[in-house]
Amino acid sequence: MKVYKNFSLRLALFVAVFAVSVFAGIVGDYYQYDASAFVGEQRPEQPWMGAQMISMHVTGGNSVWLANYINSWYWPQPVADLNSNTFQMGANQYGYLLKSELQGVDPGSDYSSLIHWADGRTKEITYVDDIPASNSGLTNKATAYYLDYFGKDDDIYFVMTAIPKDGGEVVDSFQYVNDKNKETEMYNPDTTLVSRLDNTTDLAGNVRVNFGLGADETRREFVVVWSEGDYDGNTPEPPSGQPLPGAMVAGILSLGTVLLGKRMRRRS
């Protein structure tokens, strides 16, 4: 029975640690998306990495927020606002496209009527340095911009408006990019968007979505975080067949508590 008791205790401790580590990177009610949620797809017409479409898979019951990435725990405090010198983040200046609504749509066509515009609402989030390599406990705050509340298994493309000095136009992660070198005939000469990447992370472990704009390919980046429910924390349409993330963690912690309790009772 000693083997069983030790196993129960270890399992209880493991699931408790796992439940906490699931939400590493953001404290409070905001959590980071795992890198596996981001999907880069290369088209035959533009087969190089910088021209990839970038979509993100939403597990359901989550609201999605956009914020600036963190590259220092000390300065600036808070993290520079996305709306200051990166993108225009007012109402109807950023939003998303649903992959389900783009079936058969030519990425070189005018599909602006399919854009779901965001309303520009914001909340403050806190990044925390709890990555195992450093684990310093340092924090920094950032302004997060509400995108929308999504249902189960939605796949979205991001729509952003460049700041005036980058051209001021609407760009997205679905369209053809402007092939500066004319390597292919399938390019969009009317856009300043020349590349898209999602292969780096910030200090808090968030995936940095990168848009390269203009002839000098100026890098403009944002990260994506999520919270349970809509802007106010309500859940308009709970996803079916899958528990909400908070419920999942509660279940894991409950399992650990039960196993630990059984061990203690047996010892007594």
d(Cα 158, Cα 265) in Å, to the nearest integer?
A: 53
Question: In the chain, what percentage of residues exceed pLDDT 90?
Answer: 55
Tens digit of each residue's pLDDT (9 = 90 or more) over 156-207 = 999 999 999 998 999 999 999 987 666 556 677 788 999 999 989 999 999 9
Query: Nearest Cα to 157, choosing from 219, 213, 100?
Result: 100
**Cis amide prior to 239 (ω within 30 degrees):** no
pLDDT value at 24 more than 90: no
**CB-based burial of residue 182 (10 Å sphere; 0-12 exposed, 13-18 middle, 19+ buried)?**
exposed
pLDDT at site 237: 57
What interhelical angle do 245-267 and 2-21 show, nearest 10? 160
Domain residue ranges of the chain, discontinuous segments joined by +: 27-239
d(Cα 186, Cα 109) in Å, to the nearest integer?
A: 12
pLDDT at site 251: 45
Phi-psi label, residue 217: left if phi above 0, alpha if psi -120 to 50, beta otherwise: left
Q: How confident is the model at residue 152 (pLDDT cuts 50, 70, 90)?
A: confident
pLDDT at site 266: 45
pLDDT at site 209: 97
pLDDT at site 28: 73
Average the pLDDT over 261-265 and give the result. 45
Phi-psi label, residue 25: left if phi above 0, alpha if psi -120 to 50, beta otherwise: left
Alpha carbons within 13 angstroms on the beta-carbon side of residue 30 total: 26
pLDDT at site 182: 60
In terms of pLDDT, which residue wins out, 26 or 31?
Answer: 31
pLDDT value at 12 more than 60: no
Average the pLDDT over 38-47 and give the result. 91
Q: How confident is the model at residue 22 (pLDDT cuts 50, 70, 90)?
A: very low
pLDDT value at 248 more than 50: no
pLDDT at site 134: 65
pLDDT value at 146 more than 70: yes
pLDDT at site 25: 56
∠ CA(134), CA(253), CA(250), 5° rounding?
105
Residue 130 DSSP label: -
| Integer angstrom CA distances of residue 68 from 40, 87, 141, 228, 261 | 20, 10, 10, 20, 43
**Cis amide prior to 236 (ω within 30 degrees):** no
172 touches 158 (CB < 8 A)? yes
| Integer angstrom CA distances of residue 51 from 59, 156, 210, 212 | 26, 17, 11, 10
Average the pLDDT over 217-232 and give the result. 93
Tens digit of each residue's pLDDT (9 = 90 or more) over 50-74 = 999 999 999 877 899 999 999 999 9
Which residues are CB-neighbours of 74 under 8 A, at least 6 positions away? 138
The residues that bridge with 268 in the sheet, in sequence order, are none
d(Cα 179, Cα 169) in Å, to the nearest integer?
A: 17
pLDDT at site 258: 43
